[in-house]
Structure 1
Amino acid sequence: MSESRWQWENATAGAVAGFATVATMYPLDVVRTRFQVNDGRVTNYPTYKNTAHALFSITRSEGLKGLFAGFLPSVLASSVSWGVYFFFYDRAKQRYSRNREEKLSPGFHLAAAAEAGALVSLCTNPIWLIKTRLQLQSPFHQSRPYSGIYDALRTILREEGWTALYKGLGPGLLTQVSHGAIQFTAYEELRRIMVDYKERKQKSESGSNLLVCKCSF
């Protein structure tokens, strides 16, 4: 299998995984976002006692639509994020592997993951911002709600300018870069340890079988 095909297959797998994760757990993400912004002082949002109460309250006052507010941009952002992440990560590893006979060290895996995380944040921050704003819309909000992802994008650009689409980019970069760097470096090292262990085990078993065969003669 060519490296280019492998990169695209990884990107596709990442995109599918991102879609599946959002599709199955999205209502909980809406509840989490509502909890994070409600400090008890903002009157535009109701106060929830716990997760179950939040799910029930949102469903009663906003319907199932409320539990899936911002679903489209969230699915889009998650699918694009993981697909692009795996693609950039594999490309970075391929670039670092050139003219190197030995396997990449943890430092190179860390750099590749950090590079991929930074690029993903720059590409997807506008989508995540729109997702969050759509999630925070409720009947209690006094400002005019966005009708959808396109209306949100158009309104933000008209009223706040394109720089508003990159609000929160700093924390997003820090989270994406550090999270991916730690996760993928740990994954690569654990994978290397398991591969080395299996290779040593196979060699040991092959040597034992050879010794048994010699003794039988």
Structure 2
Amino acid sequence: MSGLLRHERARDGLGVPANWSPLRRTFESMSEMTSPPSLRDLYIDPSSAWAFIPPTLNSSHPNAATDVSEPVAQAYQWSTRPTRNSIFELSPSLDLSEPLGINPAQLFKSVLASALLQYTSTALVNPWEVGRLLLQVQWVPRDAGEPEAEDDYIVEEQEEPLSDSSDNDDTYFADPHTTGTAKRYPAPRPTDEQGYVIRRSVLEEGTRPEYIIPVGSVDGVWNMIKRVGRFRFEGWLALWKGLLTSTIAEMLSTSIQPSINQFLQSLFLPSMSPFHQPPVFLPIASHVLTGILISPLDLVRTRLIVQSFATRHRVYSGPIDALQKILRDEGGLKGIYLHPNLLIPTLLDSTIRPIVYFALPTIIASYFGTAHITEESHPLAWGCTELAASCIGLLVTLPIETIRRRLQVQVRGTAEPIKGCVELRPAPYNGVVDAFWHILTEERSDLPITPRRARRRNSKKDGQEEEKEDDEAESMWKHTGIGQLYRGLGTRLGASAIYFVLHLLLSREETDAGWVEI
């Protein structure tokens, strides 16, 4: 037994007995021949090793945690793609779902950046919005441009006593059958209660207010933009009227509509899977509710744009003043939301637009037998379908928008009438149908209007004066106001085409960007 213990103590670190020295030297020489010259290439950092199941500590060995002879591998953590930030992708590090809370400074910077971005984008398109809106509300009567009627004259005869004196040669050669001289002078023009001369035509220069742009002088949005910029009482800064109100309305619309849509989905379809497509009536209903909620801002924006930019002719000094005066003089919240002239056009406009956006592309695709195309599978075909739906939808949405703008300009109650920078209809409309009918029947669409004057010539046959009007070919658009319902159609079609091209280019860049980790 003692010999065995001595034999075990004689073993060294290699597990070889001490008296086996030849065998030990042979083993060491073989190890030196097979070992690599450096271990640097074979070194593996224990912290970078992957282990999908974390190692469990054995409680029976209390020193297992402190044993450094066997490195413990780290557990691999799956990394997921961060969720998109709802504030225009301006702050990807802002994760509102973190349990630790929200960083107020980061949130404030994101909201401020999104507000500046929205303000800048709205300022770029605001001149076109101003020009189109002024064309929509401008009243162009059918008799505008007709030859100006001559003033009525009063003929007054004055008797002169005959003189027996031969010194007066005029009485000597005068006709004895003439008893006096006749004088002609213009008859007095009819006036209103305040003593102002009543206008007989919208093209009269003498009776047109100084702050009104001459009617019929422009025929498109771009021409209206130039006319507003060069007009004495407007100027180039007038092209950005209502900019702040438009920015606030756009930000509220993009923020409220998704929230209402999610609320409706949770209310009507609480058990719907996120992989299923919700029915189309839910986003349409969310757009309708959003349009009704922000309709007062749209009313304020329209009146700020239409009113004169000159300080002494303004009715509203700003959006807050306009909202206060409308609430005070036009029936409060009930009048601003539930009046038929405001509620019915808002419902029509807010309903037809989302129907065109959500349902019409699918209907067009199914009509041509390509109902299976989607934005992901056929981006080009789907883009063409959306472009066609947008162009067809303008034929319905643009007249409704024009009628809505004209009804928004009309004041009610005890409110002071707006002094518009364009010609407005003197008599108010009685609703959507009445506005549609009067626009078609009492207005003309051939713009710009060239005024014609009556000219006189002497007839050789009877020696009497007769009037002859210019024999100009009249356009068929003079006898209908259908063109008034589609003011700004070319601008809208151009914007839809530009959006289609940009969307197509951006989608190609995203497709060709390469492999993206799922």
For normalisation by structure 1, the TM-score amounts to 0.69
The aligned amino acid for 2:306 is L
C-alpha distance after superposition, 1:31-57 (max 9, x if no partner): 111101112257664224132331122
Q: Which has the higher contact order (CA 8 A, sep 6+)?
A: 1
The alpha-carbon deviation at position 145 of structure 1 amounts to: 2.0
Q: Which residue of 1 aligns with 2:125?
A: 25
The whole-number CA distance in structure 2 between the counterparts of 1:20 and 1:139 is: 22
User: Residues 64-96 of structure 1, C-alpha deviation per residue, up to 9 Å, x if partnerless?
Assistant: 331111111111112211221223224434555
Q: Helix, strand or coil: the match of 1:193?
A: coil
Aligned-partner Cα distance in 2 for 1:81–1:182: 18
Residue aligning to 1:35: 135
Offset at 1:139?
A: 5.2
Aligned to 1:122: 292
Paired residues of 1:113 and 1:177 also in contact (CA < 8 A): no
| 2:347 maps to 1:173 | yes
Gaps of 5+ in 2: 1-82, 90-110, 142-201, 203-207, 364-370, 379-518
Which residue identity lines up with residue 244 of structure 2 in the other structure?
A: L
Residues 74 and 88 (structure 1), Cα distance of their counterparts in 2 relative to 1, 3 Å cut: same
Aligned counterparts of 1:99 and 1:121: Cα–Cα separation in 2: 28
Aligned residues: 188
Name the structure 1 match of 2:241. Answer: 69
Per-residue deviation, 1:181: 3.5
Equivalent pair of 1:130/1:153 in contact (CA under 8 Å): yes
Sequence identity, in percent?
A: 22
Residue equivalent to 2:304: 134
Question: Quick one: structure 1 residues 98 and 157, their matched pair in 2 at CA, closer, same or farther if it must change by over 3 Å?
Answer: closer
Distance 2:240 2:311 in 1: 17
Alpha carbons 1:77, 1:124 under 8 Å: kept: yes
Change (3 A) 1:100 1:159: closer
Identify the residue that residue 276 of structure 2 maps to in structure 1: 103
Q: Could you say which residue in structure 1 is the equivalent of 2:374?
A: 193
Amino acid at match of 2:247: V
- Report deviation, 1:177: 2.1
Report SS of the residue matched to 2:374: helix
Q: What does residue 200 of structure 1 align with?
A: none
Report the TM-score when normalising by structure 2: 0.32
AA at the equivalent of 1:36: Q
CA distance in 2, matches of 1:158, 1:143: 20
What does residue 328 of structure 2 align with? 158
Residues 98-144 of structure 1: per-residue CA shift (max 9 Å, x gap): 32357236xx1x21112211210221000000000000011589964
Aligned match for 1:81, one of 253, 260, 272: 253
Taking the aligned partners of 1:26 and 1:177, their CA distance within structure 2 comes to 24
Higher helix share: 1
Output the CA distance in 2 between the equivalents of 1:82 and 1:192.
28
Cα distance 1:142–1:70, how it changes in 2: closer, same or farther (>3 A)? same
Looking at structure 1, the residues matched to 272 and 351 of structure 2 have their Cα atoms a distance apart, in angstroms, of 25
The one-letter amino acid paired with 1:54 is M
The answer to whether the 8 A contact 1:18-1:82 is kept is no
Give the whole-Å Cα distance in 2 for the aligned partners of 1:56 and 1:92: 45
Separation of aligned partners in 1, 2:221 and 2:238? 15
Larger Rg: 2
Q: CA deviation at 1:182?
A: 3.6
CA-atom RMSD in angstroms: 3.7
Contact between 1:117 and 1:177, CA under 8 Å: does it hold in 2?
Answer: yes
Residues 21/94 of structure 1: CA separation in 2 closer, same or farther (3 Å cut): farther
Cα distance per residue 1:161-186 (max 9 Å; x no partner): 22342352222222212212342356
Q: Name the CA distance, whole Å, in 2 between partners of 1:191 and 1:83.
A: 32
Distance 1:91 1:13, change over 3 A: farther
Distance (whole Å) between structure 1 residues aligned to residue 335 and residue 230 of structure 2: 32
Aligned CA distance change for structure 1 residues 186 and 84 (closer, same or farther; 3 Å): farther
More strand by share: 2
